[in-house]
């Protein structure tokens, strides 16, 4: 099968399209013919081993432990291991396979069955591949850490990216009044996915305009944590899911102290991939409340190009890899 392989950390140039052995499913695994995959910042961290800690926590100290990146996938089950109970050949599935060894930028992957859910017929493979990490991050940030409530004023900074486009829609589905922060060219898109107000960060600094929010989800961009604190209502909650390293350290180190010493709660989210939340998002999709926003699609041979675009940091929604050969085999959706 064809796969995008890398054997040393580095820029997207280290990625090579190669012919490799098709995997065989172990007893608790499902062999999936991949129709689409999507890129996440986590792929990029593992590609470059940046931050360095990634080598110790996931990737391998000297060289990549996982030779094929790609966590978010959607495809069709081709074969199942003998202990697999939930799936059978022909099922259309999607999920985040990072905890079962990555491998999504390839024509086939063997993944553990407990990372996968059935894809709704109304969801395309590309939409399904766009969902797992970004949507679950947005959900956990808003619901679990942010304790979102109907009628609350919720602000999403970085509203036009992978996490942000899900966050706007999920916050709306919880009945919040949503303010999206993005650049000029993305304002219309932010309105189209349900934002009640849109702030153009190139023209206005939301931390300085006197408005107060019950919940702020920081999905991208940078503001000092004390600016975020000022923009919170007295009992407000700030959840950092992404952004600059400085922002992450401030949320992790200062957040708990600010939370202990006052009424505002501030902290960072580490997403925990789980099936329950993926099913929750799937149900929001089926109810018409969430629709993945796909910016660009690339063929497997152009994964490096897709990474270069991701690295620019200005995608409108998700970047998807489409497995052209597999989609030609009679069941493109
Ligand atoms: N906590 C976790 O476990 C977890 C899980 C997943 C992702 N993340 C993190 O979440 C972050 C975002 O991920 P993503 O997939 O959403 O990234 P992404 O899709 O690459 O984000 C791109 C978006 O960020 C916006 N942006 C860039 N600079 C901005 C600024 N100064 N202010 C506001 N928006 C800005 C861009 O909008 P414009 O083009 O309009 O500037 C673009 O739409 C990453 O840092 C990632 O590491 C964390």
Contacts (Cβ under 8 Å, ≥6 apart) of 185? none
| Nearest residue to 131 (alpha-carbon basis) of 47, 240, 221, 36 | 36
- Mapped onto helix, strand or coil, the DSSP state of residue 86 is coil
Nearest protein Cα to ligand 1, atom 4: 241
Q: Which of 270, 226, 269, 221 is nearest to 244 (CA)?
A: 221
To the nearest whole percent, how much of the chain has pLDDT over 90? 92
Query: Is residue 178 very low, low, confident or very high in pLDDT (cuts 50, 70, 90)?
Result: very high
Stated as kind and residue range, the H or E segment containing 164 is helix 162-173
pLDDT tens-place string over residues 215-225: 999 999 899 99
Nearest to 77 by CA among 21, 48, 117: 117
Mutate to test the pocket of ligand 1, among 242, 267, 268 (most ligand atoms within 8 A of CB): 242
Q: How many CA atoms lie within 13 A of 78 on its CB side?
A: 18
Residue 235 three-state SS: strand
Mean pLDDT, the chain, rounded, equals: 95
DSSP summary character for residue 87:
-
Q: What is the pLDDT of residues 288-310, one digit of tens each?
A: 999 999 999 999 999 999 999 99
**How many angstroms separate the alpha carbon of residue 105 from the centre of ligand 1?**
21
Residue 202 structure tokens: 């190139």
- 162-173 and 275-286 helices, crossing angle to 10°: 70
Structure tokens belonging to residue 160: 């036009």
Q: Count other C-beta atoms under 10 Å from residue 45's C-beta.
A: 16
In b/e form, how buried is each residue of 159-173, taking b as 16+ CB within 10 angstroms? bbbbbbbbbbbbbbb
Distance 161 CA to ligand 1 centre (A): 5
Here the tokens at position 293 are: 């926003």
- pTM score: 0.96
- pLDDT, tens digit, 9 for 90 and up, residues 67-118: 999 999 999 999 999 999 999 999 999 999 999 999 999 999 999 999 999 9
């Amino acid at each position: 099968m064809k796969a995008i392989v890398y054997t040393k950390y580095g820029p997207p140039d280290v990625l090579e399209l190669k012919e490799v052995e098709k995997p065989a499913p172990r007893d608790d695994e499902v062999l999936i013919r991949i129709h689409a995959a999507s890129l996440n910042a986590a792929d990029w961290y593992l590609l470059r081993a940046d931050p360095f800690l990634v080598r110790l926590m996931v990737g391998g100290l000297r060289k990549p432990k996982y030779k094929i990146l790609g966590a978010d996938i959607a495809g069709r089950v081709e074969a199942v291991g003998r202990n697999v109970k939930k799936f059978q050949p022909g099922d259309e599935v999607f999920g985040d396979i990072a905890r079962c060894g990555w491998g999504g930028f390839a024509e086939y992957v063997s993944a553990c069955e407990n990372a996968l859910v059935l894809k709704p017929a109304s969801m395309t493979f590309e939409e399904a591949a766009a969902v797992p990490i970004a949507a679950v991050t947005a959900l956990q940030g808003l619901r679990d850490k942010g304790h979102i409530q109907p009628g609350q004023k919720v602000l999403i900074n970085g509203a036009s990216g992978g996490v942000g486009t899900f966050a706007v829609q999920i916050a709306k589905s919880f009945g919040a009044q949503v303010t999206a922060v993005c650049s000029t060219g993305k304002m219309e898109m932010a309105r189209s996915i349900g934002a009640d107000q849109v702030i153009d960060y190139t023209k206005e600094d939301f931390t300085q305009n006197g408005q107060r929010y019950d919940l702020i989800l920081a999905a991208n961009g940078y503001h000092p944590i004390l600016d975020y604190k000022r923009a919170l209502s007295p009992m407000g909650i700030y959840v950092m899911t992404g952004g600059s390293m400085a922002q992450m350290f401030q949320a992790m180190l200062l957040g708990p102290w600010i939370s202990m010493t006052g009424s505002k709660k501030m902290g960072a989210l580490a997403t925990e991939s789980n099936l329950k939340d993926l099913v929750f998002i799937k149900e929001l999709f089926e109810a018409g409340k969430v629709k993945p926003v796909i910016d660009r699609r690339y063929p497997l041979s152009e994964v490096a190009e897709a990474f270069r675009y991701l690295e620019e940091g200005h995608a409108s929604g998700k970047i998807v890899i489409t497995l052209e050969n597999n989609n030609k085999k009679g069941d493109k959706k």
